[in-house]
Every structure is written in C-alpha cells, then in structure tokens.
Amino acid sequence: MIGGFKNVVRRHWPPLRLRTILLLTFVFVAALPGFGALFLRVYENALVRQTEAELSAQSSALAATASVEWPSVRTQAEDHPLEAPSVDLRMTTILPERPLPRALPRTENAVTIAWSERLRPILQLTARATLASIYLLDDRGRILVGARAGLAYDELPEVRSALAGRSATTLRHNDAYHPQYALEWLSRASDLRIHYARPIFADGRVIGVLLVSRSPRALFVGIYDDRGKIILGVMMIFATLVILSGLLSRGIVRPVEALGEATRAVASGGGSVPPAPTTAAIEIQALYRDFGTMAEAIERRSRYLRDFAHALSHEFKTPLAGIGGAVELLQDHPDMESADRERFLSNVAADAARLSLLVSRLLDLARADMAKMEEGASSELADTMRCVADAWGGTGLSVSLDLPAVLGPAAVPRAVIETTLTVLIENSRQAGATSVSITACAANDLVELRLRDDGPGIPLGDRERIFEPFFTSRRSSGGTGLGLPITRSLLQAHRGTIALEQDWENGAAFLIMLPLCEPARAET
C-alpha cells in the first residue's frame, strides 16, 4: 500500500525549482501559527479565558460589595481573591442551554429582601455597563435579583458548587444565537455562553450567590479588533520570508546553478570550475572545491588517455607496418629466394614478438594503474633486498647493499618491492652499468631506498620523460618504455613514490620512498 502511494506521488509530483521549494517551506512554517490559532483553538481559547477572567473580576467586586451591605453587626469584609481562568475549549465539557428556574416553597426573609433591594440598582447598572446577565441568589439558590425572581437555580451544578463555597465556571450552548458571518463555523465558541457562579460570604458563611453569564468575544470580532496587529504581523512575516529567500538564494540556489553551468561547460570540454562565491554556504564552497578537484582529475586522465592512445597507435603502427609490408612482398613474389623469404619471415616474427610483448606490458600497466592498496601488507625490506641482490649474482652485474642494523618492515607487498628493484637493475644492466649500489635508511614514517649505478646515466633531455609510457631510448633493442611507468603505478597504489635524483651525474640514481608499518614507526 505504501509502495503504491509512493508510485502515485512520483508520477504526479511536479518538477519544482529549489527557490519554489524554499518559498513553499517558509510559507508553510509561517502559516503554522495561524493554523494553530484557528484550528487548534489557541486564539479563540484565549478570548474565552479573557471573558472568564473579566466575569471573575466583576463578580469579585460585586461579591465584596454585597458582603459589606449585609445587614449584620458581625459582618466583616471577606477576601474575594481573583481566580485563574480554568476554561479550555479543547477539554471543558459543553453543557446544554441553561434550564428554566424551578419553583421552591416561598419563605419570606425580610433581612435578605432588604439586602437584595439595596444591591439591585448596583447589579442593574453593572449589567448594563458590562452587557452581562447578573443574578443574585440567596443561600438556597432562589433568585432575588434578576428575571423570574422567586424561582430557584439551586439544581445547576455551578450554583451548587457556589453554595458549597467554591466558585465554578461552566460552558453552555446558547440556543438563541444566530450565525452572522459566512465562516462562522470556524469558531467553536460562537454559540457558547460562559456561566460563572461566585459565593458571597458574610459572618463566615455563604449568604448568597452571584450568577453571571456572558457570551465570549466572537473570533471574527476579535480578529477585527486586532486587525492592525495581525496585518502588521503578517507583513513582517512575509518581509522576513522575502529576506530569508534572498539570503538562501544567494547562499545556495545561485551557487548551485552556477556550478551546474560550470559542470556542463567542463563536460563539453570548454571550461573549468570557477572559485566558489564568498556568499555561498560552507558546504557549497566545499562542493565547489570537490568539483574543481574532480574536473582537474578528469582533465589529467583525459590528457593521459589522449597521449596514451597516440603513443599506443605509434608503437603498434611500426611493427604492423613491417608485418604488412613483409606479407605484401611475400604475396607479390611467390618465387622469392629462400634466403630472402627467411629474412622477411624473421622480420614478421620479430614484429609479432614485439606486438606480443607490448600487449603483455600494456596488461601489466593496466593492472598497475588499477591496483589497490593491500590492507595489512608487510614486507621485510632487508630480506627482500638480499634476495634480489642474490638473484643477480653470476650475471656480470655487481649489486651491493648498504643496510642499517635495524630496518623495519614496509607496508608494501613483497612482490611490488621485488618488481621495482628488478626493473631498475635491469635498466642499469641494459644501459651498460657494471655495478649497482642500494642503500636504505628510515626517516620518520618512511624508508628511503637509493639505487645508483655506474652506467652512462640518463641524458638531460630525457630526464623529464622517463616515466612517460612508451618513452625509451632502446627501442631498437626491444625496449617498450613501460617498465618505469608500471613501477611508478605500483608504488603509488601503495602510497610509495619513485623519482630520479637530478643532482647525481655519475650514472643513474633513483630515490624510492616506501611507508613503514605502524610498529616500525613507533620504534623509529
């Protein structure tokens, strides 16, 4: 079911710009307070509580007046503290319309009647001023001042609570209410009326009850009364949204769009990634740098592939041309003498062997370029170097070693070290050297291997190109120019380096840097 819903959303989701998404998000967040005010009854609940607080304050003043007016020599003014509003539209039970008062057996009390008559004008003036309905009840709940005097509200829950000495507030429906606005249904309190009952104390007992009721201020009336504040708040919110949208546009949207244009330009081969705008976010600036690094790596790889393809075509063209020419001559001269035929066939075999060697070395170079560092690799340098030196014994080339007393293991596979030393020694032998010396020393977390020979050395004009694929000065003797590139790729894959020592003039000298294993680093 969830998967089906997601599919429907994906099919109908409109393509949106980042600016639009940001603006919609801001508008939604800004609308949440209004949503809470209307649909969660926050603002309307505040209006109802305000009305309850007004009724409580009004009743407190009237109850104090009534206590003072009580005709008793022992009467002392009772405290009538204000009570915190307790009504909540979301939790308070709404009762039906207040029922009509009921009749009670009439018992005349001259003191109570005289007391109510003195309070009548005060209550009537207060009711006209506050537009509230005010009833004065005696200690049995009978109406003394108000409509239907003589009847009783003693069965109302709020009146019973007040007769027991506790103020009470109830919410009741107002059946006489008629909607006045088209959107009146949005207001839950529009057809309600707040009823507040407060006891009147004198001589330490309840002598009567004030029953006050009034409709709360309507939601739309409250909004209209506060229209200035609301309009100002909405304008400030939208102004803030515009400012935030502009800031985010300069910090995110524009830099992303500029980066997209630069990326397309790089893809078409006609541009580069510009520096990140200073107003862009830190993450966007980091993204610019990453794209710039990626573009440079792609450009280097593209140049490498172009040069490699050019050199490869050149390397293959010569033996293929030789093979093609020899085949053509053999086809055109079937009666060729056997000596000439053997010579041409030898050339074809030599060119074929060179092609086979090139293919094999290219596979080695591809493996070296794609090699990955072996985690946990460890090789004993001293043993590996002695094995390589011993392998050249009896070949006419002297290989000497100068090793320190303690030489820790290198974090490089043994085969990589053997291949590196073998390639360099073989190059020295082919160049005419008679002796090769290898020294080793540890420096910080690296070990330095220096290999020097007594050969003719490398010409100055060739020193910058010796690590280029297919570059060789011994092409006529079968050199492919791939040995040093393969060696460098293998070392780079294992965080090692190889370089030609330019200041060494007596023969050739190479410096190899290999990482040491962690225990070896701690010892050095």
Token pair of 106 as six digits? 């009439």
The three-class DSSP label of residue 42 is helix
Residue 361 CB-half CA count within 13 A: 22
* Percentage above 90 pLDDT, the chain: 16
269: left (phi over 0), alpha (psi -120 to 50) or beta: left
Distance CA 11, CA 261 (A): 28
517 pLDDT tier (thresholds 50, 70, 90): confident
DSSP state of 367: H
DSSP β-bridge partners for residue 158: none
> Does pLDDT of 206 surpass 60?
yes
What is the reported pLDDT for 507? 83
Strand pairing report for 168-173 and 205-214: unpaired
- Alpha helices in 226-337, H assignment, sequence order: 227-248, 254-267, 282-332
Most confident of 101-110, 121-130, 390-399: 121-130
| pLDDT tens-digit series, residues 330-347 | 787 777 788 877 887 887
Reported in sequence order, the residue ranges of 5-162 that DSSP labels E, i.e. its strands, are 94-95, 133-138, 143-145
Structure-token match 């009570």, residue found: 83
Token pair of 405 as six digits? 């007393």
Higher-confidence position of 334 and 123: 123
What is the reported pLDDT for 371? 62
Strand pairing report for 168-173 and 435-443: unpaired
| 285-288 CB contacts, 8 Å cutoff, 24+ apart | 287/259, 288/255, 288/259
What is the reported pLDDT for 368? 62
Distance CA 306, CA 209 (A): 101
Strand pairing report for 94-95 and 168-173: parallel
183 pLDDT tier (thresholds 50, 70, 90): low
| pLDDT tens-digit series, residues 349-407 | 877 876 776 676 666 666 666 666 677 778 888 888 888 888 887 777 888 988 888 88
Q: Please tell me the least confidently modeled range out of 78-92, 200-214, 265-279, 373-387.
A: 78-92
> Does pLDDT of 514 surpass 60?
yes
CA 215 to chain centre: 50
Distance CA 503, CA 97 (A): 107
- Complete DSSP assignment for 148-209: TTT-B-TTSHHHHHHHTT--EEEEEE-TT----STTGGG-SSTTEEEEEEEEEEETTEEEEE
Distance CA 490, CA 95 (A): 87
73 pLDDT tier (thresholds 50, 70, 90): very low
**Rg, the chain, Cα only:** 50
| 149-153 CB contacts, 8 Å cutoff, 24+ apart | 150/103, 150/106, 151/100, 151/101, 151/102, 151/103, 151/104, 152/101, 152/102, 152/103, 152/104, 153/101, 153/211
Phi, psi dihedral angles at 143 (to 5 degrees): -75, 125
Closest CA to 62 of 189, 167, 181, 203: 167
What is the reported pLDDT for 158? 93
Centre a 10 Å sphere on the Cβ of residue 490 and count the other Cβ atoms it contains. 25
DSSP state of 439: E
Distance CA 147, CA 158 (A): 18
Q: Please tell me the least confidently modeled range out of 49-58, 150-159, 360-369.
A: 360-369
161 pLDDT tier (thresholds 50, 70, 90): very high
List the domains of the chain with CATH numbers. 39-225 (3.30.450.20), 372-523 (3.30.565.10)
| pLDDT tens-digit series, residues 4-35 | 777 776 777 677 676 777 777 877 777 777 66
What is the reported pLDDT for 295? 81
